Amino acid sequence: MRLALICDDYLPNSTRVSAKMMHELACELLRQGHDPIVLCPNGGESKKVIPLCLDGITIYRFPNGRTKDTTKLKRAFNESLLSFNAWLFLSKEIKNKEIEGVIYYSPSIFFGPLVKKIKNIWHCKSYLILRDSFPQWLIDQGMIRSGGIVDKYFRYFERLNYNAADYIGVMSDKNKELFLAQYPHIANVNVLYNWTDAKDNSPQQNSDILKLHSLEEKIIFFYGGNIGHAQDMANLMRLAFGMRKHMNVHFLFIGQGDEVELVKKFIDEHRLDNCTYLPSISQDEYSALLRLVHVGLFSLARNHSVHNFPGKLLGYMANNLPILGSVNEGNDLMPIVSDAQAGYVHINGDDQQLLDSGVKLASDLQLRKKMGENGRSLLLSKFSVESAVDNIIRKLQ
């Protein structure tokens, strides 16, 4: 099948987990005999489309303003134009050769009109990979008012996004339950777990980050990825503060987002010499670094009404790292990790339990090793890219 993959972020110019996931999905589709093409914005890098081939995947990056690492207002404006600009610059390519199916990723919520146009031309099916409940999380964080004009604007495009999908894949059973409670009229909803390519045959690069920061002898508690409101980074900073007297432990935070300044300010104000923050690094160096650290950290804001499964956990599991983190109440990520004995997951706000688990992992090498192995087994059984492709293709055929 010739398949159009649509997303707002993609390799090689992104360090985000979602970009890596979509590329791994495209590569697995290609391996299984399909013909995937990728449509994504170029972030304002060029005023024309420049086709790119990466690992056998053809990528069409259309002109559009930045939707990442910019102000909230600019992001909203530029994302609102995604479908318009994609059609403006890629309609000829879309019409030129049959597209037999569409796979699109949310966030962003603004690709619905584009998907609808492709379906009208080629009479094909579409599959929405839904990884976030936007704008609901903005409301949960108190950033916009429920029922206000901004909420209504986003809700309009959210409906278009869902209506363009023949099938919607959510991250977990709990997310499916919550989604159907909010949208009972949408029938074709199924669980599509996050995925990774556990084989990862790419050349192994070395990372000098630990050496450069004199951390080679430390037990590294590592956080990599988005550093934003949805993560509630203050939660992990309190953990780092609580473990400041464990001189053999160091917290390493790498990424970008709205709460970077919070992280840096917390480190400075509390004079934490057990913490280092670094901006984003390349995917290759990130992969190399995962082979050197010891514990994988994550955090989800406690007031979220949706239940995310952070993609970063897949990288941790692929590299035999035990998982340590916090979730919102009712998130089924907790039993998934706990039942597999792949790490410790607590409710955000249970600071003492999180600290106790951190101390256990810091002091017990065999525990870290066993939980890391269990995480790898969990990954292979539930979160493989092969399984994700099989689930999607069954729906599109």
The residues spanned by each domain of the chain are 2-192, 209-382
**What is the structure's pLDDT at 284?**
87
- Give yes or no for residue 142 having a pLDDT over 90: no
**What is the structure's pLDDT at 18?**
92
Distance of CA 130 to the CA centre of its chain: 11
What is 2-192's CATH number?
Answer: 3.40.50.2000
The percentage of the chain sitting over the pLDDT mark of 70, rounded to a whole number, equals: 98
**What is the structure's pLDDT at 26?**
99
160-177 residues labelled b (16+ CB within 10 A) or e (exposed) = bbbebbbbbbbbbebbbe
Distance of CA 45 to the CA centre of its chain: 23
- Give yes or no for residue 305 having a pLDDT over 80: no
Look over the chain and give the mean of its residue pLDDT values, rounded to a whole number.
93
Q: How confident is the model at residue 131 (pLDDT cuts 50, 70, 90)?
A: very high
Joined together, the tokens standing for residue 374 give 């269990």
**What is the structure's pLDDT at 234?**
96
**What is the structure's pLDDT at 202?**
57
Q: How confident is the model at residue 201 (pLDDT cuts 50, 70, 90)?
A: low
**What is the structure's pLDDT at 157?**
96
61: DSSP letter: E
**What is the structure's pLDDT at 200?**
62
Q: What is the mean pLDDT of residues 281-306?
A: 91
Tens digits of residue pLDDT in 246-273: 999 999 999 998 899 999 999 999 999 9
Q: What pTM did the predictor assign? A: 0.85
- Give yes or no for residue 203 having a pLDDT over 70: no
**What is the structure's pLDDT at 147?**
87
Check if 2-192 and 209-382 are the same fold.
yes
At 255, the amino acid letter reads G
| Contact call for residues 395 and 166 (beta carbons, < 8 A) | yes
**What is the structure's pLDDT at 229?**
83
Exposed/middle/buried for residue 263 (C-beta within 10 Å: 0-12, 13-18, 19+): buried
212: DSSP letter: H
Tens digits of residue pLDDT in 327-373: 999 898 999 999 999 999 999 999 999 999 999 999 999 999 999 99
Q: How confident is the model at residue 204 (pLDDT cuts 50, 70, 90)?
A: low
Joined together, the tokens standing for residue 49 give 């489309």
CATH architecture, range 209-382: 3-Layer(aba) Sandwich (3.40)
The percentage of the chain sitting over the pLDDT mark of 90, rounded to a whole number, equals: 80
